[in-house]
Structure 1
Amino acid sequence: MDSKIIIILMSLVLVKAQFFEDRRCRCVCPSPAAVLNTSTTRQIYTGNVPPNLCNCEDVVFPFIREELEGKLYMFCPRCECVYQTRNTSLIMGVVSMIIILVMVLILYTIAIWSLKAVLRRRNRTVSRTPESTEQPDTTEQRTEETSLLLWDDPDN
């Protein structure tokens, strides 16, 4: 029982830790090796800074200070920094509504299947009951009456 409580608390902490990313500065830059002419791959650097500090010097430079000590002027013009904002609570609400809708549809499908099964069983039991012999078969009587009328003597 204690392990379940610990797992629930850890999951709450992890979910709460994801809320800091509502605002961020995202810089797409070449790898530091590209400035040194050894690679051409690009890397993404993100930082939690105010919009006025969303630039290469404040977001990227703390990560690559040792590699490009004197060549920052060559590196930063190749970076594209964009300040992004998003509403994660709205996103989580929409995802929750979609999950609830899918669950309701699944429950509805299960209910329809079970109702079909109950109706099939009821139809089988009704068709298996013996028919009562008290009521005469009217179709046989009609054919007999019709045949008698056809063979009657027209002179009588």
Structure 2
Amino acid sequence: MKHLTYFVLIFCCFTFTKGQFDDKRCKCICPSLSSVTNKTEKSHTSRLMQTTNDPPNRCNCEFVMLKIVADKLSANEIKEFCPRCECKYENRNTTIIRYVVIIVIWVISILVVYMLFLIILDPFLNKRVKGSYQEHTNEEVILEDAQPGPSHNMSVRGNVLNRVSNQQDKWKRQVKEQRRNIYDRHTMLN
């Protein structure tokens, strides 16, 4: 229940923050103003970057960057400044990204729940196996001899748990044998 609450909160955050993410944007990266003006001022030594929502035909230095730096540059410096700018129009689909993230979170949550289920079930199976271990040579279960009724349901449940635990023990023995062969004898099982 706790995981479901977290998921609902995350989903609500994604849906209510729709206005914070733009699918289309214009991004301009320009050199520092000091590279054009040949002045070494501390405030203008880093590169300039601006992101706007301008359409593709207005995604250039004249429409995006000159709004910010026109008052700091002369006409000749503007002619030098704009060719050095790199403006790109970017288009992405945040809806698809959002759904992919939600699906990944769901898959991870399901795997975590499954792992917790196996961790909880493991001690119960191991306790049962240690008390009543039988090696099975025939995998078929004959239910004709079982009597109908409540004891029949309990025996079927017990048989299912015994079969699961027997398969688990068989797998553990095989893994142990494989480790011994690979690390000690340096051979592989066929």
Alignment pair present for 1:44 and 2:49: yes
The correspondence for 2:105, drawn from 99, 113, 116, is 99
CA distance in 1, matches of 2:34, 2:15: 37
Deviation at residue 74 of structure 1 after TM alignment: 1.2
Q: Write out per-residue CA displacement over residues 60-117 of structure 1, whole angstroms, 9 at most, x where no aligned residue.
A: 1112232224321110000111111000001111111111111111111111111112
Any gaps of 5 or more consecutive residues in structure 2?
A: 1-8, 134-190
Q: Secondary structure of the equivalent of 1:49?
A: coil
Aligned pairs for 1:1-156 within 5 A: 11=13, 15-19=17-21, 21-37=22-38, 38=40, 41-70=46-75, 71-124=77-130
2:67 counterpart letter in structure 1: P
Distance 1:32 1:13, change over 3 A: farther
1:57 counterpart letter in structure 2: E
Deviation at residue 31 of structure 1 after TM alignment: 1.7
CA distance in 1, matches of 2:28, 2:125: 62
2:25 counterpart letter in structure 1: R
Q: Secondary structure of the equivalent of 2:73?
A: coil
Q: Write out per-residue CA displacement over residues 6-29 of structure 1, whole angstroms, 9 at most, x where no aligned residue.
A: x99x9578612223x211111111
Q: Secondary structure of the equivalent of 1:66?
A: helix
Tell me the residue number matched to 1:148: none
Normalised by the length of structure 1, the TM-score is 0.65
CA distance in 1, matches of 2:65, 2:71: 12
Contact 1:28 1:79 in 2 (8 A): yes
1:82 counterpart letter in structure 2: K
Runs of 4+ residues over 6 Å off in structure 1? none
Deviation at residue 46 of structure 1 after TM alignment: 1.2
Q: Secondary structure of the equivalent of 2:72?
A: coil
Contact 1:34 1:41 in 2 (8 A): no
Normalised by the length of structure 2, the TM-score is 0.54
Q: Could you tell me the percent identity over the aligned residues?
A: 39
Contact 2:33 2:45 in 1 (8 A): no
Any gaps of 5 or more consecutive residues in structure 1?
A: 1-6, 128-156
CA distance in 2, matches of 1:41, 1:68: 16
> What CA RMSD, in Å, does the superposition of the two structures yield over aligned residues?
2.7
Higher gyration radius (CA): 1
